[in-house]
Amino acid sequence: MKLMISVLSAAEAHDAIAGGAAILDIKNPAEGSLGAQPPAVIREIKKISAGKVAVSAAIGDMPNLPGTAALAALGAAACGVDYIKVGMHGPGNESEALSLLKEIRKAVREYPVSIVAAGYADHARSGAMNPACLPRVAESAGIQGCLLDTNIKDGCTLFDFLDPQQLRAMAERIHAAGLFFGLAGSLREQDLSPARNLGADIVGMRTAVCRDNQRSGPLEEARVRRLLQNPALNAD
The amino acid sitting at 219 is: L
Active site (catalytic) residues:
27, 85
All structural domains of the chain, each given as residue ranges with its CATH number in brackets, are 2-233 (3.20.20.70)
Torsion of CA 57, 210, 127, 24, to 10 degrees: 10
Tens digit of pLDDT for each residue in 68-124? 999 999 999 999 999 999 999 999 899 999 999 999 999 999 999 999 999 999 999
Q: Which residues partner with 88 through β-bridges?
A: 62
Mean pLDDT of the chain: 95
**Would you state the pLDDT for residue 213?**
81
Say whether pLDDT at 217 is over 90. Answer: no
Stated pTM of the model: 0.95
CA distance 92 to 64: 8
**Which pLDDT does position 140 carry in this prediction?**
97
- Distance (Å, whole) CA 7 – CA 100: 26
